[in-house]
């Protein structure tokens, strides 16, 4: 009589989702730390008119936006965005300190608070952008409603344009930087709208998103924190 071969017990159903969660958390953390560290070095090497890309707010919304797209749900996208954004602050100031630059704890605390808001919004926007490019049947419970389609991409594009208008155009008067940010914003609109595609939907949301972005940057300047 032969003895049936022993088989290893099957992994519990939750094992795969947990591995996926750990992977996305690792990606978000790595992206944040790297973006922060690279920003510190970029500030000393980037020439005009692109130097502002290493000394502004919106570039730090890109990583949270992209990792937010990895979230299985909107809330999870927001969490990933906060993680990436907060670790950008950590990575930047840790690198700056290692390079011999002074670090003000109050400034670090201020930007960490900003990371909670900006990271959550950018992460949720990234999730919305990615889901806006999928058919409703493919998104299941994470489907983006028709009225929301295009909003996620419009928020990131509007951030670039609002910083160009408010921070560099109005407050600082740096025309070259304003043009650079406007160009990047337009390029982002073209690239992000290809997902789906969702160009018309992005255009529909762009004006209100830009208005909200301008208010946000005006408030940030009032608090003394932008550029």
Q: Quick check: is 159 in a domain?
A: yes
Cis, peptide link before residue 49, omega less than 30° from 0: yes
Condensed to tens digits (0 to 9), the pLDDT of residues 20-76 reads: 789 999 999 999 999 999 999 999 999 989 999 999 999 999 999 999 999 989 999
DSSP 167: I
Q: Taking the model in full, what pTM does it have?
A: 0.87
Q: Quick check: is 12 in a domain?
A: no
Residue environment code for 74-98, b if the CB has 16+ CB neighbours within 10 A, otherwise e: bebbbbbbbbbbbbbbbbbbbbbee
Condensed to tens digits (0 to 9), the pLDDT of residues 153-212 reads: 999 999 999 999 999 999 999 999 999 999 999 999 999 999 988 999 999 999 999 999
124 closest CA partner among 74, 173, 85: 74
Residue with more model confidence, 227 or 104: 104
CB 157 within 8 A of CB 195: no
Confidence grade of residue 226 (pLDDT, cut at 50, 70, 90) = low
Q: Quick check: is 128 in a domain?
A: yes
Q: Quick check: is 19 in a domain?
A: no
CB 96 within 8 A of CB 103: yes
Kindly give, in sequence order, each residue whose CB lies less than 8 Å from that of residue 60, ignoring residues fewer than 6 positions away.
Answer: 35, 39, 85, 88, 118
Would you state the structure tokens that stand for residue 15, as one six-digit string? 């094992």
Q: Quick check: is 7 in a domain?
A: no
Q: Quick check: is 210 in a domain?
A: yes
Residue with more model confidence, 95 or 143: 95
When divided into structural domains, the chain yields a total of: 1
Find the domain containing 33 and state its range: 24-222
Residue whose token pair is 């011999």: 100
């Amino acid at each position: 009589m032969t003895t049936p071969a022993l088989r290893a017990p099957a992994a519990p159903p939750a094992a795969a989702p947990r591995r996926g969660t750990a992977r996305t958390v690792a990606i978000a953390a790595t992206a944040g730390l790297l973006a922060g560290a690279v920003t510190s070095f970029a500030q000393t090497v980037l020439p005009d008119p692109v130097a502002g890309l290493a000394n502004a707010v919106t570039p730090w919304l890109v990583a949270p936006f992209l990792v937010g797209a990895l979230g299985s749900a909107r809330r999870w996208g927001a969490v990933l965005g906060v993680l990436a954004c907060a670790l950008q602050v950590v990575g930047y100031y840790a690198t700056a300190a290692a390079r011999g630059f002074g670090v003000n704890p109050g400034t670090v605390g201020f930007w960490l608070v900003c990371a909670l808001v900006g990271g959550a919004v950018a992460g949720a926007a990234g999730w919305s952008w990615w889901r806006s490019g999928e058919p409703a049947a493919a998104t299941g419970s994470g489907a983006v409603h028709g009225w929301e389609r295009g909003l996620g991409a419009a928020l990131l594009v509007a951030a670039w344009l609002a910083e160009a208008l408010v921070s560099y155009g109005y407050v600082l008067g740096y025309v070259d930087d304003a043009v650079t940010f406007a160009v990047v914003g337009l390029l982002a609109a073209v690239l992000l709208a290809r997902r789906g595609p969702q160009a018309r939907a992005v255009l529909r949301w762009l004006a209100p998103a830009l208005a909200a972005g301008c208010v946000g940057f005006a408030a940030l300047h009032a608090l003394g924190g932008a550029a």
